[in-house]
Chain A
Amino acid sequence: MDTHASMTNLPDSAEAHADAPHAEEHAHPTWSTYWKVALILALITVSEVWAYYIPSFVAGRAFIPTLLFLSGLKFAIVVMFYMHLKYDHRIFRVLFTGPLLVAAITLIGLMFLFGHLFIKIM
């Protein structure tokens, strides 16, 4: 994807942040990248719903991992491209992924605690 592109606001943002010498930000994606990302998100959503209507797939072992993977993929795409986490200062990544990691560990811990997840021992 053409991320560092012509239609960004480099001159304006450079001026606006002239008194911010340490800011570590890269140019945001172009309009065409945004449209492509939207198309990818729509296609993933269609495939998720499609999978939901295939009884043999729903009954299989791959159904839940596939849906979780697709959901995680959409989550990551929105966060990286629309929320610009891929391009902005890394402190934002820390501020977001830190609490997200704690939240995810809490969720998984609770699932084990309340018997929704199991670990087979021997």
Chain B
Amino acid sequence: MSASATPVSAPAPHHYTALGIDSRKIAIWAFIGSECMLFVSLISTYLIYKGRSIVGPFPHETWTDPATGRVLKPILNIPVTSASTFVLLMSSLFMVLALAAVQNKEKPKQTRGERILGNSKLWLWMTAMAGTTFLGFQAFEFTSFVHEGLTIRTNLFGSSFFTLTGFHGAHVTAGVLWLVTLLAIDYRRGLGSRDSLLVDIAALYWHFVDVIWIVIFTLVYLIK
């Protein structure tokens, strides 16, 4: 249904299941369940290939290239990745605040704090910016890896690492685009409590991307 054909406060059409649950919410949870399978297959591949690369650079160990004598340090940059992990975790907080702001849109805001917490545009912006910052960290990491000699074709670690984190980055990118569309709707006609399901579905996707990174950060970066 186009926005021009819909009155500003008209409720979205409901698609309830026999359980009384909106079928769109069932769909997003089913989608998230299938995404669990996808990411576990990628994580499994990474773990199976872990420690089986013949040539470096390696994630946690120093390697000397026998042909050139060049010494390659452990390639993972834990401080940078820790910072990006923190940013993504905080983006989940911003997202849930955006959802709460949309759900409570019609409630009167008495104090300045309530007005800030009830500003859905602010929190959607913050979430999108945090997601973009995370992608910036990832772009920096990928670029530095390539400069240090690790590409997707260098070794088993490179192949599985870039595939896993690249897929995750693609999901974050999709999430940022989704947030931008919500922001556009919010600027165009304002998101109200009747739109809370739209934001809830986007929030579920965003939090899922966050929890996947929680697992990746531990299994790929921290465990040697």
Instruction: Determine if chain A interacts with chain B.
Output: yes
A contacts, CB < 8 Å to B: 7-9, 12-13, 16-17, 19-24, 28, 31, 34-35, 37-38, 41-42, 45, 48-49, 51-52, 58, 63-64, 67-68, 70-71, 74-75, 78-79, 82-83, 89, 91-92, 95-96, 98-100, 102-104, 106-107, 110-111, 114, 116
14 example contacts (A-B, Cβ-Cβ < 8 A) are as follows: A8-B104, A9-B107, A9-B193, A12-B106, A16-B194, A20-B14, A34-B96, A34-B100, A45-B85, A48-B222, A79-B207, A82-B93, A92-B29, A96-B36
Q: How far is the CB of B204 from chain A (nearest CB, A)?
A: 6
- B residues with a Cβ closer than 8 A to A are 11, 14, 16, 18-22, 25-26, 29-30, 32-34, 36-37, 39-41, 43-44, 47-48, 50, 78, 82, 85-86, 89-90, 92-93, 95-97, 100, 103-104, 106-107, 117, 193-194, 196-197, 203-204, 207-208, 210-211, 214-215, 217-219, 222-224
**Bound Cα distance A42, B1 (Å):** 41
Residue of A with least CB distance to B89: A41
Contacts of A110 in B (CB 8 A): 44, 47-48
- Please determine whether A35 and B93 come into contact, CB atoms closer than 8 angstroms: yes
- Give which listed residue, A71, A91, A92, contacts B214 with CB less than 8 A: A71
Whole-angstrom CA separation of A37 from B50 in the bound complex: 33
CB contact under 8 A between A67 and B222, given known A20-B20, A34-B96: yes
Give the distance to chain B from A15, nearest Cβ to Cβ, in Å: 8
- For B36, give its contact among A21, A49, A103 (CB under 8 Å): A103
Total A-B contacts with CB atoms under 8 angstroms apart: 164
Given contacts A96-B29, A100-B33, contact A82 B96 (CB under 8 A): yes
With the chains together, A9 CA to B78 CA distance in Å?
40
Minimum CB distance partner of A83 in chain B: B207
| CB-CB under 8 A for A102 and B37, given A45-B89, A48-B218, A107-B44 | yes
Of A19, A31, A42, chain B has the most CB atoms within 10 Å of the CB of: A31
